[in-house]
Amino acid sequence: MTDTRIAIVGIPGKWSTEVLADALEQRTGYRRVIDMADVELDLTHNRLLHKGDDLCKLDGLIVKKISAEYSPGTLDRLEMLRTAQSRGVQVFSDPEKMLRLIDRLSCTVTLRNAGIPMPDTCVTESPAAALAAVKQYGEAVFKPLFSSKARGMCVISAEQDDARIAASIEQFQRNNPMLYIQRKVELSGRDLGMVFLGGEYLGTYARVSQSNSWNTTINSGGRYEPYTPDDALIDLARRAQAPFGLDFTTVDVALTDTGPIVFEVSAFGGFKGALEGAGIDAAALYTDYVLKKLGR
């Protein structure tokens, strides 16, 4: 036990948040889970308050989950954490680095600028350009810029006539003015989560579809399995996460007939997949990593 006070920013009651809080409490004797909905930023006095306590007096903050679902408001929550950081509280991962991952387009542009292979992608506000992309791709996945676990995504097929394609695009664009469109790739019912801590590779798990769903997410009925990648695949994932400089992350990779592609780098990483699919106790390893960084 130590007198170190590190709090978890997460979703109270959610498994990954609570197991991380458990690991911290076991090592430090201190437990605090912070829902950002309950936080007040007092810029007059440069304080970040949670239930009357100034979080700027803590030794550290670990961001396990900033909100239940991604939205532009998620960016605001990360901005609030920068106040604690400016007053000397170490935040894991750095809020400015996580900001680049919440917006799907920001993540994609960074990956492509680094030369990371990704699905063919078109980003536009033009319905005509979107229709042309669907016809070029054959099948296209339309993705909200702020979402996780495939929420809000839809597949539009070029097998429909132009009028029906245009109607589907119009419906999607009502909630998504900027159209982010990717060629639908054949996943063979499996994709990978490759886990990194402080830039070092820990292991890989597979998400395997158990239904006819086009995606493999656990929300759509998928399950986790072990997977052993080769060195080239590990190197690809390492290069994908490197530009973001996160303390803990998961790189989502798919194996296709033309080679591996990267879908995204996660701002927070998946604890359950790491444990159930790869036998990695991410909560314990992350806690030890943070304590070492803090010199405790």
Structure tokens at 63: 């961001």
Q: Are 154 and 172 in contact (CB under 8 A)?
A: yes
Structure tokens at 47: 């304080």
pLDDT at 219: 52
In this structure, the answer to whether residues 128 and 217 fall within a common structural domain is no
Mean pLDDT value of segment 233-256: 97
Q: Say if 173 falls within a structural domain.
A: yes
In this structure, the answer to whether residues 146 and 190 fall within a common structural domain is no
The CATH number given to whatever domain includes residue 136 is 3.30.1490.20
The CATH number given to whatever domain includes residue 237 is 3.30.470.20
- Transcribe 76-90 into DSSP letters: HHHHHHHHHHHTT-E
Q: Say if 49 falls within a structural domain.
A: yes
In this structure, the answer to whether residues 131 and 162 fall within a common structural domain is yes
pLDDT at 218: 54
In this structure, the answer to whether residues 280 and 203 fall within a common structural domain is yes
Structure tokens at 127: 């319905």
Q: Are 35 and 21 in contact (CB under 8 A)?
A: no
Q: For the segment 74-124, what is each residue's pLDDT rounded down to a tens digit?
A: 999 999 999 999 999 999 999 999 998 999 999 999 999 999 999 999 999
Mean pLDDT value of segment 129-139: 98
Separation of alpha carbons 287 and 67, rounded Å:
21
The proportion of the chain whose per-residue pLDDT surpasses 70, expressed as a percent, equals 95
Residue 248's nearest CA partner among 192, 207, 202 is 202
Q: Are 131 and 179 in contact (CB under 8 A)?
A: no
Q: Say if 77 falls within a structural domain.
A: yes
pLDDT at 70: 86
Last residue of some domain: 165, 183, 201? 183
Q: pLDDT-derived band of residue 32, with 50, 70 and 90 as boundaries?
A: very high
Q: For the segment 207-224, what is each residue's pLDDT rounded down to a tens digit?
A: 987 656 545 555 545 789
Mean pLDDT of the chain, nearest integer: 93
Q: Say if 44 falls within a structural domain.
A: yes
Domain span at 37: 6-92
In this structure, the answer to whether residues 191 and 278 fall within a common structural domain is yes
The CATH number given to whatever domain includes residue 46 is 3.40.50.20
Mean pLDDT value of segment 228-252: 97
Q: Who's near 286: CB < 8 A, 6+ residues apart? A: 20, 23, 62, 92, 197, 247, 248
For 123, the 3-state DSSP assignment is: strand
Strands of the sheet containing 53-54, edge to edge, are 39-42, 47-50, 53-54
Last residue of some domain: 131, 155, 183? 183
Separation of alpha carbons 66 and 82, rounded Å:
13
In this structure, the answer to whether residues 207 and 233 fall within a common structural domain is yes
In this structure, the answer to whether residues 126 and 52 fall within a common structural domain is no
In this structure, the answer to whether residues 193 and 176 fall within a common structural domain is no
Peptide bond into 93 cis (omega under 30): yes
pTM above the 0.95 mark?
no
In this structure, the answer to whether residues 140 and 171 fall within a common structural domain is yes
Q: Are 225 and 206 in contact (CB under 8 A)?
A: yes
Query: How many domains in the chain?
Result: 3
Q: Is the backbone of residue 270 left (phi > 0), alpha (psi -120 to 50) or beta?
A: beta
Does the pLDDT of residue 182 top 60, yes or no? yes
In this structure, the answer to whether residues 88 and 22 fall within a common structural domain is yes
Last residue of some domain: 183, 198, 219? 183
User: How far from 72 is each of 57, 144, 153, 204, 259, CA to CA, in Å?
Assistant: 28, 11, 17, 30, 33
pLDDT at 24: 97
How does strand 248-256 pair with strand 259-265? Answer: antiparallel
The proportion of the chain whose per-residue pLDDT surpasses 90, expressed as a percent, equals 86
pLDDT at 222: 75
Q: Are 12 and 33 in contact (CB under 8 A)?
A: yes
Q: Say if 110 falls within a structural domain.
A: no
Place of tokens 């106040």: 83
Q: Are 56 and 45 in contact (CB under 8 A)?
A: no
Residue 60's DSSP bridge partners are 6, 90
User: How far from 103 is each of 50, 60, 72, 100, 146, CA to CA, in Å?
Assistant: 26, 25, 8, 6, 6
In this structure, the answer to whether residues 191 and 280 fall within a common structural domain is yes
Q: For the segment 147-161, what is each residue's pLDDT rounded down to a tens digit?
A: 877 789 999 999 999
Q: Say if 20 falls within a structural domain.
A: yes
Mean pLDDT value of segment 128-138: 98
In this structure, the answer to whether residues 11 and 69 fall within a common structural domain is yes
- Among 33-47, 131-145, 146-160, where is mean pLDDT lowest? 146-160
